[in-house]
């Protein structure tokens, strides 16, 4: 299954940063960067993980203004990561890791922030991975999920068209996604819709162990 996902994104990597894709993605990146820098990130010195970082656009925008923070990007696609590597090679505080987020073991400390943008619906074990995110975050750490959700007839039509081209696992509704987070002990701090995407900021108030 992961192999298919990897092959799909390896092919997409060649056109992912193209003008046509940017028509959809650039406003989303602007919204994400704005949210992160103005409302979510409160430290100077922090550990940030971008899951399914793709060609590294969000990491690049954060890393260029935050030399004291540490950034990690994980992606299953070698070709997407190669594009990211090219953009991010001048930043010593960025580390890119190739692999499936489900299997990667992080040897460093926990993270202060985990971002999953436009990638959650591609993950094969979302319930298990949400719990992994919880374990990987520091107390008061925040998970930021930006993902298309099916909440209206319009989004149902558009996203069912997308399933004809994309390798998807599951597209949630905004409510389902929030419930998944609540079931895994996250506290929802912020939730809004932006075009087809739900933005959810969820925090770890306390670890059980
Ligand atoms: C639609 S792209 C989004 C890329 C980037 N986050 C963005 O907002 O532009 C989804 C990314 O998730 C990656 N991905 C899919 N499944 C993954 C997995 N199990 N582990 C790590 N990365 C994965 C894909 O290779 C792809 O780069």
pLDDT for 3: 55
Q: Tens of pLDDT along 180-193?
A: 999 999 999 999 99
Q: Tens of pLDDT along 28-56?
A: 999 999 999 999 999 899 999 999 999 99
Residue found by looking up tokens 């406003």 in the block = 27
- Is 50 a member of any domain? yes
- Is 183 a member of any domain? yes
Residues with CB under 6 A from ligand 1: 5, 9, 25, 52-54, 57, 74-77, 80, 100-102, 117-119, 122-123
Nearest CA to ligand 1 atom 14: 52
**CATH number for the domain harbouring residue 179:** 3.40.50.150
- Is 7 a member of any domain? yes
Q: Tens of pLDDT along 72-107?
A: 999 999 999 999 999 999 999 999 999 999 999 998
The model's pTM = 0.95
Domain span at residue 28? 2-203
Compute the distance between CA of residue 126 and CA of residue 149 in angstroms, rounded to an integer. Answer: 14
* Overall domain count for the chain: 1
Rg, C-alpha atoms of the chain:
16
Q: What is the chain's length?
A: 209
Q: Tens of pLDDT along 139-182?
A: 999 999 999 998 888 877 877 777 777 777 788 999 999 999 99
CA 97 to centroid of ligand 1, rounded, Å: 12
Nearest CA to ligand 1 atom 15: 122
Instruction: Name which of 79, 75, 78 is nearest 17 in CA terms.
Output: 79
CA 103 to centroid of ligand 1, rounded, Å: 15
Site to substitute for ligand 1 among 13, 73, 119, most atoms within 8 A of C-beta: 119
Compute the distance between CA of residue 72 and CA of residue 155 in angstroms, rounded to an integer. Answer: 31
Compute the distance between CA of residue 128 and CA of residue 124 in angstroms, rounded to an integer. Answer: 9
CA 100 to centroid of ligand 1, rounded, Å: 9
Ligand 1: nearest atom to the Cα of 16: 9
- Is 209 a member of any domain? no
- Is 70 a member of any domain? yes
């Amino acid at each position: 299954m992961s192999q298919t996902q990897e092959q799909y994104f390896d092919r997409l990597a060649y056109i992912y940063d193209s003008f046509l894709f940017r028509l959809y993605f650039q406003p989303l990146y602007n919204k994400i960067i704005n949210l992160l820098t103005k409302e979510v990130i409160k430290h100077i010195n922090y550990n940030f993980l971008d899951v399914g970082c793709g060609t590294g656009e969000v990491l690049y925008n954060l890393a260029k203004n935050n030399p004291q923070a540490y950034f990690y990007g994980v992606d299953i696609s070698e070709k997407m990561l190669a594009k990211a590597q090219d953009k991010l090679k001048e930043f010593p505080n960025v580390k890119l890791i190739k692999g499936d987020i489900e299997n990667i073991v992080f040897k460093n400390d926990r993270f202060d922030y985990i971002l999953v943008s436009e990638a959650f619906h591609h993950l094969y074990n979302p319930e298990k991975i949400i719990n992994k995110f919880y374990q990987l975050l520091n107390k008061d750490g925040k998970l930021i999920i930006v993902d298309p959700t099916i909440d209206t007839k319009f989004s149902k039509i558009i996203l069912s068209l997308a399933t004809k081209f994309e390798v998807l696992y599951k597209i949630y509704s905004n409510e389902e996604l929030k419930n998944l987070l609540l079931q895994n002990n996250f506290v929802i701090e912020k939730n809004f819709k932006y075009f087809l995407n739900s933005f959810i900021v969820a925090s770890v108030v306390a670890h059980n162990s």
